Amino acid sequence: MNKDEAKEEILRLSKEINYHNHAYYVESNPLISDYEFDKLLEKLQELEKQFPEFSFESSPTKRVGGDITKKFQTVAHTFPMLSLSNTYSEEEILEWENRIKKLEDGAIEYVCELKYDGVAIGIRYENGFLTRAVTRGDGTQGEEITANVRTIRTIPLQLRGDFPQDFEIRGEIFMPLASFLKLNTEREENGEQLFANPRNTASGTLKMQDSKVVSERNLDSYLYGVYGNNLAFEGHFETVQKAGEWGFKIPLQQSRMIEKTDSAEGIMNFIHFWDKERYNLPFEIDGVVVKVNNYAQQKRLGFTAKSPRWAIAYKFKTERVETKLESVVYQVGRTGSITPVANLKPVQLGGTTVKRASLHNSDQIKRLDLHVNDFVYVEKGGEIIPKIVGVNTEKRTKDAGIIQFIESCPECNATLIRREGEANHYCPNEDACPPQMKGKMEHFISRKAMNIDGLGAETIDLLYEKGLIKTSADLYDLTFDQVVELDRMADKSADNLIKGLVESKNIPFERVLFALGIRFVGETVAKKLAKHFKYMDALIAAKFDDLTNVGEIGEKIAISLQQYFLNEEHLHFIDRLKKAGLQFEIKEKVGASNKLEGKSFVVSGVFNAFSRDELKELIESNGGKNVSAISNKTDYVVAGENMGPAKLKKATDLGIAILSEDEFIQLINK
């Protein structure tokens, strides 16, 4: 391939990938499988590697990040990013609307939008390409975070359609609730301190020096304010709709995320609707923004020193309730982290009954000056997690006792420790403390780790109580006769469990490494370590500098790994897993083909030899396409146990071939 051909192919691939990226992330309408998308991206990356002179700044390969920014440059805003005036009062919204009518003659239209609880951003496009992204800062200048913003998949790197040649679009970057919960779950598994709320997490993520880490946090955005000289639009609402045609993710009119009205009644209807419906959104909002739609009217209304006269924000009151703190209990996590939990007198909050609230650590208890039998104020942190935010000291009674943080583990009585620079207390008795031992085994068998069929937390508990297992290595010494004697364990269940243990020996090295539960070694870190060192013995023998030379492996992770491997018990544990037949080296994938090319598959149910993810990977590696729903375009359904009857009926009615797990393997092996 010569240079001209390479350049043309790079441009073609970029256009195709951008098209599918927009369909997936902005329109939520994937047109190809993840495998097909990844193959397109790999092809583009390979071409850019061969012809670096054609690796453009707008290339979709830049989405994965990798730029390191030591210091963010301060940049002046071309158009000031003023804050809006806020109110919690509906009366003040009505007064504002009445004042607008007195100041401006003629008909007035208002645009009602959601007030996203995220980070305000201004993004500049020149000739259709993203050139700069700047935070709000103090309104007159902010920090340039272009490299990090480029990783957000709902923000286009290149526009389409009849866009202005030079303009800025503004909006909000936020962390979806699902991404926030996933991130905190991973941090909890790794023994790290949890993030407080999605907004602060989004803000902190955008200031990270490594854009590759930013790309893995799954930030999202809505963009809705277009600024520029001589823009050919009459009103804000129409401009937002047009921005959607250019490729931006905009508030959806059909979902009532943006509405146009000509009355105070319409404004109030929008506010009241979202005051209730905000809890059903997949992201956080903290209010509603109302703007005069017409740009000419906006210009005449002008600005105060701090904010525009033509816009106002109505902020929802954070729902807060008062209830009694009845007691504090302490939970031990699988890493030994001690979490104090407040038991509350049940109270309604945000549509749910709240009985418990995490107190996080001893510092939080001291800061709140909590006493047992106090009347406390409870809110939902991030509209998800109940948290105690204050104490009604006026109601404090004589029987209210100061909460003294425990000094010994509530499960094994070991003296707790608190590491320097960390907020949490820990039980150091990791090899004999029951919750830690069972927690490690539950992590070991979890879906993203060993994914052992027929084995769950209840069975782990039973096996532990019967004295049959103390570590995950003991699982591979279990016999059918031992398992079938357990309560509620029939012959078939016992047989499935033993088969599941045998099949888990095929789980690849990176997941085995993750399953060990080494502190700070999450799923992503385990993949990077396995890919780099390839063998467990090489990882064990690695020196500190060898570890920190691996991308994204910092000092904290390196120290944790070395401490883990210095423990003779841990080395003995790994040796037992090796002898049991688990994978402790990277194996190159074989068997890829195009046998299933042009065929689409739906995988449903529970399988014996493979997990659903493994079956889907087999389909894609052999040229097939995975689809989520059965339609007349589906060629095959791979059906396991407990497949939904509705899916089975639909496949039968449409005459789609239904394959068992064995029949699917035979199809590939033909």
Catalytic center residues? 115
Q: What 3-state class would DSSP assign to 602?
A: strand
CB 150 within 8 A of CB 21: no
CB 601 within 8 A of CB 636: yes
* H/E element, 62: none
CB 5 within 8 A of CB 51: no
Instruction: Give the whole-angstrom CA distance, residue 565 versus residue 540.
Output: 6
How many residues in the chain?
Answer: 670
CB 577 within 8 A of CB 571: no
User: Hey, what amino acid is at 536?
Assistant: M
C-alpha R_g of the chain: 29
Quote the DSSP letter at residue 606. Answer: B
Which residue has tokens 């782990």? 460
Give φ, ψ of 72 to 5 degrees: -85, 130
The DSSP string of 127-162 is: TTEEEEEEE-TTSSEEEB-HHHHTT-TTS-SB--SS
Strands (E), 296-370: 311-315, 320-332, 337-349, 352-358
Cβ-based neighbours of 669, under 8 Å, separated by 6 or more: none
Which residues, in sequence order, are bridge partners of residue 343? Answer: 327, 356
CB 176 within 8 A of CB 126: no
Which residue has tokens 């790794």? 190
User: Hey, what amino acid is at 266?
Assistant: G
Cβ-based neighbours of 546, under 8 Å, separated by 6 or more: none
Distance of CA 427 to the CA centre of its chain: 29
Q: At what angle do helices 434-444 and 457-465 cross, to 10 degrees?
A: 140
